[in-house]
Amino acid sequence: MQPGTYISGAGHLLLIGWAALAGFFDAPPPPPVTTTNVSVMTGQEFAALTNQPVETPPDAISEQPQAPDTPEATESPAAPAPETAPDVAAAPDVTETPPPDDAPDVSEVQPIPRAEVTPDAPEAPDQPDTVPGASLVIGDSDTPTPRSVPRIAPEAAPEPSPEAEIDEIVREATRSDDAEQAPDPVEDEPETAPEAAATETVTEAEEETGGTQISTLAPAQSRRPPQRPNRPEPTPAAQPVEETPEVRETPAAEEPAPQEAEPETPPSDAINDALNEALAGGGADTDAPAPAPSGPPMSRGEKDALRVSVQRCWNVGSLSSEALRVTVVVGVSMQQNGQIVQGSIRQIEASGGSGAAAKQAFEAARRAIIRCGASGFPLPAEKYSQWREIEMVFNPEGMRLR
Amino acid sequence: MTIARLFLAALLALPIAPALAQDGPLRIDITEGVIEPLPIAVPTFVAENAEAQQLAQQLAQVVVDDLVGTGLFRQIPQEAFISNITSFDSPVQYADWKAINAQGLVTGSVNVGSGGRVNVKFRLFDVFAETTLGDGLQLGGSTDAWRRIAHKVADQVYSRITGEDGYFDSRVVFVSEDGPKNARQKRLAVMDQDGANVAYLTSSDSIVLAPRFSPTGNQVLYTSYETGFPKIYVLDVGTVQRRVLADQPGTMTFAPRFAPNGRTVVFSLSQGGNTDLYSLDIGGGSPRRLTDAPSIETAPSFSPDGNQIVFESDRSGAPQLYIMPAAGGEPRRISNGAGRYGTPVWSPRGDLIAFTKQNQGRFHIGVMRTDGSEEVLLTASFLDEGPTWSPNGRVIMFTRETSGAGGAPALYSVDITGRNLKKIPTPSLASDPAWSPLLP
């Protein structure tokens, strides 16, 4: 048993005692509800108020002619002919339409030998900037506005500056000439920013519902409250005198209880902190001795860092709707430097779809692990025994609705 | 209350024990990902002889256009390539393609033999897994069929990556329109789904409406005003021969659609001021009545299994969507939102129904489950109408007409997620699209 365990146990006991004896679970009365009366008007009414001419669209949905509205149509029904008979001067150029060209013959091709892998990967040339813009702008015309944010990500991100390199970690550019006076010279580092993204797909109809330019009015990122609001003071009558002072010495906002430290979606700052913390932990230190199997467990931040580093490469955009219903569990063996053991990625189980859909889901998961694990995952080397084998559960349920 | 507190306190004590040890592999849950186009590299196919030089470039370009046009893939420009594919059977240098983040790689070769026969071979690679996705395939055909071969290649690539069938090797029949708005000339036309190879099926002597492909794609049903009022015709796409269906004096017939078996046609018949749904054998015979109501029933569409029909009816006072058995029977209303619903079309997958909706002066193309739930409006404009499904049920094509004196119709498509809304290129104004099945 380690001191941390004793401290944790003592803390839990204190919390349990306080919860059992104090009025902790007495829910505060709900805040009063403010009611505001609103009225609804149609677009025509609004236009009438503002004296704007409104062009009335066609009044019916129909692929059929208007003829059904003529009940007296018996011998000579009102022919819904065109208003003016078209004067067809040009000879119709109808010819025997060739059916689609003959179906191609299909046969399999012999497999090819495997390439010899060169030890050093060549440097990637500069890619043209194909990062799309981040604005969801509603056009006034009926011509659809190019929908310029094809990327959906857990966190919305604005369009990065042209000079910025795409990276999950936001970093300002550093230049060596800026730091000439500094005792420790720094190397030039480019500015980095995450790729532009929205959090969910917005259809053209949903854009219109807003009735305005979403991107210009909506905040690019929701702002979290700076701290939790203080809990209401327990009523003095319900407080045992001896227990209360100890609880009050530890405000919930500063040191939340373990159960409170689980944000469902960590803010980007927390993600960056977790990544930086884990990276600083020397996850790629291959010379470190192998940790004992009984080492400390992975902290929540370390797990989050791993999770975040995988999910930013998990692209489900090209999966079929059936594959998006498949939850696949992928096993992977890890090296001590945080890189995956080549050929160790395997499907452990899949549920929610056919074998073909599971195969697509597994391949997307495998691409994510390989791509983002190429240079090693941010994992603490001293806890290698804890992450020597990893099982990743890829559940796209939340992504299906985006 | 005290018991509840003690119970909850005991629950709080539980996390202490598991925190001390971790049995088995570390397990993490990945529930958040990204949705973005998959970067894919399609180098120009290798020309195996001089005659194939031009085709090699054209084939690769059509494959790229098909894939990128879905919105699910992003082309990596050739200028970014580190490796060049100079031989179809050369080993792939995966590191070169990883370095430019190509997650899919399509390689191919083209050979034009004597007699103008084209042979195309291709392979698809999962670059980061350093493996092929499926086996390599060889496709052969006449030189004239090179676009179909390219579409077949794109269909294979699409299918192997997404897990669903492709839709590139398919056609669209539509109404081509020319002339001013008050004297528009209309004729039936057919084209590849990407707008290429347009051919005309009828003259512009009379107004034509609502063409619909047969399940095999070799016949088209449509409505014509050739006799002065609407009648249904069936046309053979290959020979352009046509004949009238359900030619009963004193009636008007319109809104036809094939049953999945290809032998039965369901349509609207208007007689004595009442419009109901009827079915008819394509070979002839007497129409059989499916509905009997004083309201207007129209725009029928079969479920893929042929057992049910979704249609539009104003029996409740405004056009709404209903489902009934294919042989007729008590309809069940499925649309319940505000506004007017029409032109329902059952998805080839069977899970969704596309429709036109008019609400608050705007038209929408939308989809809903077959029980009417989970309605999603995908588009909004002055006039959107007449959805038709791609063969794989992933894309919807429809007519969008702009407002004003110069308003004109055009064809648009949108993914069922509402993404990738785009205009389909046509040589003239166009409306009333109907997608064919995937060609054999």
Torsional sign, CA B67, B69, B73, B75 = positive
Confirm whether B30 is domain-assigned: no
Longest dimension (CA), chain B: 92
Residue B33's Cβ-side half-sphere holds a number of Cα atoms within 13 Å equal to 31
Contact by Cβ (8 Å): A334, A377:
yes
Contact by Cβ (8 Å): B66, B154:
yes
- Residue B395's nearest CA partner among B65, B72, B151, B74 is B72
- Higher-pLDDT residue of B264 and A167 is B264
User: Do residue B26 and residue A298 have CB atoms under 8 angstroms apart?
Assistant: yes
Contact by Cβ (8 Å): B25, A331:
yes
Please name the residues between 39 and 58 in chain B that touch chain A, using a CB distance below 8 Å. Answer: none
Q: What is the pLDDT along chain A (402 residues), one digit of tens a residue?
A: 567 788 888 888 888 877 666 554 554 444 444 444 445 555 555 555 544 444 555 555 554 454 333 333 333 333 333 333 333 333 334 555 555 566 677 776 666 655 444 444 444 444 333 333 333 233 334 444 445 556 787 777 777 777 777 665 666 766 655 555 555 656 677 677 777 777 777 888 887 766 433 333 444 445 555 455 555 555 444 444 343 333 333 333 333 333 333 333 344 454 555 555 444 443 334 344 444 445 678 888 999 999 999 988 999 888 888 888 999 999 999 999 999 998 899 999 999 888 888 998 999 999 999 988 888 898 998 889 889 999 999 999 888 766
**Best residue in A8, A41, A61, A101 for a mutation probing chain B (most B CBs within 10 Å):** A61
| CA–CA min distance A342, chain B (Å) | 10
Q: How far apart are the first and last CA of chain B?
A: 71
- Residue B237's nearest CA partner among A72, A241, A97 is A97
B342-392 pLDDT, tens digit per residue, is 999 999 999 999 999 999 999 999 999 999 999 999 999 999 999 999 999
H helix intervals, A168-243: 204-210, 214-217
Instruction: Give me the CATH number covering residue B427.
Output: 2.120.10.30
DSSP B167: -
| CA–CA min distance B52, chain A (Å) | 17
Residues B343, B407 share a domain: yes
CA distances B143 to A105, B42, B111, Å, are 13, 21, 10
Q: Which of B110, B145, B162 is the last residue in one of the domains?
A: B162
CA pair distance A130, A119, nearest whole angstrom: 30
How many domains, chain B?
A: 2
CA pair distance A42, B362, nearest whole angstrom: 11
Q: Given CB atoms, is B125 within the 8 Å cutoff of chain A?
A: no
Residues B258, B116 share a domain: no
CA pair distance B361, B430, nearest whole angstrom: 23
Residues B129, B112 share a domain: yes
Confirm whether B381 is domain-assigned: yes
Q: Which residues from A are below 8 Å from B319, CB to CB?
A: 60-61
- Residue A152's nearest CA partner among B16, B72, B404 is B72
Instruction: Give me the CATH number covering residue B124.
Output: 3.40.50.10070
Confirm whether B275 is domain-assigned: yes
The fraction of chain B above a pLDDT of 90, given in percent, is 79
With cut-offs at 50, 70 and 90, classify the pLDDT of residue B3: low
**Best residue in B23, B26, B358 for a mutation probing chain A (most A CBs within 10 Å):** B26
Confirm whether B394 is domain-assigned: yes
Q: Which residues from B are below 8 Å from A315, CB to CB?
A: 33-36, 38, 103
CA pair distance A376, A378, nearest whole angstrom: 7
Residue A281 has which token pair? 């932990």
Question: Mutual orientation of helices A3-21 and B2-13 as an angle, nearest 10°?
Answer: 170
pLDDT at A204: 85
Residues B383, B324 share a domain: yes
Nearest to A74 among B91, B179, B272 (CB): B272
Torsion-angle region of B197 (φ positive above 0: left; ψ -120 to 50: alpha; else: beta)? left
Rg (CA), chain B: 26
| CA–CA min distance B207, chain A (Å) | 8
| CA–CA min distance A293, chain B (Å) | 10
With cut-offs at 50, 70 and 90, classify the pLDDT of residue B285: confident
pTM of whole model > 0.90?
A: no
Confirm whether B14 is domain-assigned: no
Residues B358, B429 share a domain: yes
Q: Which residues from B are below 8 Å from A311, CB to CB?
A: 30-34
Residue B98 has which token pair? 């990883």
Residue in the structure block whose two tokens are 């004597």: B114
Q: Which of B162, B181, B202 is the last residue in one of the domains?
A: B162
**Percent helix, strand and coil across chain A, each to the nearest 5:** 30, 10, 60
Q: Which amino acid is at B140?
A: G
At CA B373, angle to CA B369 and CA B379, rounded to 5?
A: 75
Q: Range of B152's domain? A: 38-162
At CA B403, angle to CA B368 and CA B415, rounded to 5?
A: 30
Residues B409, B309 share a domain: yes
User: Do residue B274 and residue A374 have CB atoms under 8 angstroms apart?
Assistant: no
